[in-house]
Amino acid sequence: MEALKSLNPFTGEMIGSYAQHTTAELEDVIQAAHSTFKMWSQNDHQSRCLLIEKLGAELEKNKHRLALLITGEMGKPLKESLAEIEKCAWLCRHYSMPESSILEDEIIEAGTGSLRLSYEPLGVLFAIMPWNFPFWQVFRFAVPAIVAGNTVLLKHAPNVTACALEIAELFANAGFPKGVMSALIIEAERSEAVIAHTLVRGVTLTGSEKAGRAVAGLAGKHLKKVVLELGGSDPFIVFDDANLQNSCTVGVTSRMMNAGQVCIAAKRFIVQKSAFEAFLRFQTSALQSIRIGDPTDLNTEIGPMARPDLVENIEQQVNRSIEMGAQLVCGGKRSELHPDIYLPTLLINVSKGMPVCDEETFGPVMIAIPFETEEEAIRLANDTRFGLGCSIWTENSERAERVASQIEAGAVFVNSLVKSDPRVPFGGVKNSGFGRELAQAGIKEFMNLKTKWFFQ
């Protein structure tokens, strides 16, 4: 089996080469995770939360080293990598404060006998995770699942294998028993063997539509519980009564974060016609002032994309759309500084059928679409196969409530960018997936709701 390799996308230097687990080693890891589960699931909720608190402390203690590792493996600007580690630590602090009633039995009045509903962890869970937030995506799923009493097998993206191994080491250093969090060094084609394993009880994937279909099919084939967190083409609706400069600043920040490699970034800017030209001026100015360069420089705002093929994909989507009639306002090409840095790009005169409208654009590309009426804004926002998040900007609270109730998405934020937060459930609808992470929903997603009815 070919080793998995990790390359620095800015320098091209090899970070590491990692031998894959053999079939026998893979079996040993799964067996160990199951053996640990039998013990871990019997621990009380509070003791599990105490270890989560220690995990947060490990993240804080090592955040600069960990941030440099993220930046080295996938090219994210260092200040964003630091923010990612800090967010993981915040998540740990949130889950280290157990809510005493969350996993207690629910008493149901049934008139006869004693009826209770119990929440019990499922067992060994298989997590297939992406490279764009190599720590946050893992922690977002794993911490609630582990607090619930499950154990986790992590199959990370090959280009962030060092991050995967570091995550497993962090759990060990925080005092978690061996087998609670285990990194599997395997290529994607070997995932079915893990999903099919009789000791694996659930599967979660954060990734593309294509990967989601494949994993959902395998989970269905082997009758495993599955949660999918897939792509998005989030609308960012701006009404003419909004603060245009503020909404534009927030929108550009949302879209350009992580070189646009964010599933919940604002991607389709749907702006009321009477404010459209002014909004475009703000957008263009903001995009042209973004600092690009070496991601280890704390002043850099956009560095290289994570892999050369990702730059090629976004380049092709933009070029095909321009050929079909889209108008380029700024950007639209690679930086002369580095071939894997794609310049912040804005397109207008876009329409259905163009790649930048129909597909998820996973790079620093934004499109702006004018609308006239509230009904048209809602139609444009929902005219996508995705349904992850939506941001609405207006000073009219009644309008905001009206529009939010008609948006087909897992989350709607008013006068703010869409973000994942430990306090609220996260997930999408339509082709953006199903199931939820974070909050109480994230704890209970991979638990068995058991009915216990006692008759005298």
- Look at residue 66 in the predicted model and tell me its pLDDT: 98
How is residue 213 written in tokens? 């279909």
Band the pLDDT of 321: cuts 50, 70, 90. Answer: very high
Q: What is d(CA 245, CA 435) in angstroms, rounded to the nearest whole number?
A: 35
In this predicted model, what pLDDT tens digit does every residue of 392-416 receive, in sequence order? 999 999 999 999 999 999 999 999 9
Is 354 within 8 Å of 345 (Cβ atoms)?
A: no
- Look at residue 427 in the predicted model and tell me its pLDDT: 97
Backbone φ, ψ for residue 139 (5° rounding)? -65, -35
Q: What is the mean pLDDT of residues 276-294?
A: 97
Helix (H, G, I), strand (E, B) or coil at 51: helix
- Look at residue 281 in the predicted model and tell me its pLDDT: 96
In this predicted model, what pLDDT tens digit does every residue of 60-75 receive, in sequence order? 999 999 999 999 999 9
User: Does residue 303 have a pLDDT over 80?
Assistant: yes
What is the pTM (predicted TM-score) of this model?
Answer: 0.96
In this predicted model, what pLDDT tens digit does every residue of 434-451 receive, in sequence order? 999 999 999 999 999 999
Residue 181: count other Cβ atoms within 10 Å of its Cβ: 27
Q: What is d(CA 5, CA 19) in angstroms, rounded to the nearest whole number?
A: 9
User: Does residue 142 have a pLDDT over 70?
Assistant: yes
Is 283 within 8 Å of 368 (Cβ atoms)?
A: yes
**What's the Cα-to-Cα distance from 171 to each of 16, 135, 146, 152, 456, rounded to whole Å?**
21, 12, 11, 11, 46
More confident residue, 76 or 99: 76
- Look at residue 383 in the predicted model and tell me its pLDDT: 97
**What's the Cα-to-Cα distance from 197 to each of 176, 194, 210, rounded to whole Å?**
24, 5, 22
Residue 440: count other Cβ atoms within 10 Å of its Cβ: 15
In this predicted model, what pLDDT tens digit does every residue of 149-185 receive, in sequence order? 999 999 999 999 999 999 999 999 999 999 999 999 9
| Domains identified in the chain and CATH numbers | 4-230+430-454 (3.40.605.10), 234-414 (3.40.309.10)
Backbone φ, ψ for residue 425 (5° rounding)? -65, 150
Give per-residue burial for 244-273: e unless 16+ CB within 10 Å, then b: beebbebbbebbbbbbbbbbbbbbbbbbbe
Q: What is d(CA 265, CA 245) in angstroms, rounded to the nearest whole number?
A: 18
In this predicted model, what pLDDT tens digit does every residue of 87-134 receive, in sequence order? 999 999 999 987 756 788 899 888 888 999 999 999 999 999 999 999
In this predicted model, what pLDDT tens digit does every residue of 16-29 receive, in sequence order? 999 999 999 999 99
Q: What is the mean pLDDT of the chain?
A: 96
- Look at residue 89 in the predicted model and tell me its pLDDT: 98
- Look at residue 100 in the predicted model and tell me its pLDDT: 58
Residues belonging to the active site:
229, 263
**What's the Cα-to-Cα distance from 282 to each of 19, 24, 89, 115, 207, rounded to whole Å?**
49, 58, 35, 60, 32
In which residue are the tokens 């600007």 written? 77
| H or E element at residue 217 | helix 209-221
Q: What is d(CA 339, CA 310) in angstroms, rounded to the nearest whole number?
A: 12
Q: At what angle do helices 78-95 and 63-74 cross, to 10 degrees?
A: 130
Mention every residue, 6+ apart, whose C-beta is less than 8 A from residue 145: 125, 152, 442, 443, 445, 446
- Look at residue 361 in the predicted model and tell me its pLDDT: 96
Count CA within 13 A, CB hemisphere, residue 82: 8
| Strands 266-272 vs 327-330: parallel, antiparallel or unpaired | unpaired
- Look at residue 101 in the predicted model and tell me its pLDDT: 66
Q: Residue 398 burial by CB count (10 A; 0-12/13-18/19+): exposed, middle or buried?
A: exposed
Mention every residue, 6+ apart, whose C-beta is less than 8 A from residue 210: none
Is 183 within 8 Å of 214 (Cβ atoms)?
A: no
Backbone φ, ψ for residue 330 (5° rounding)? -160, 160
Is 229 within 8 Å of 129 (Cβ atoms)?
A: no
User: Does residue 259 have a pLDDT over 80?
Assistant: yes
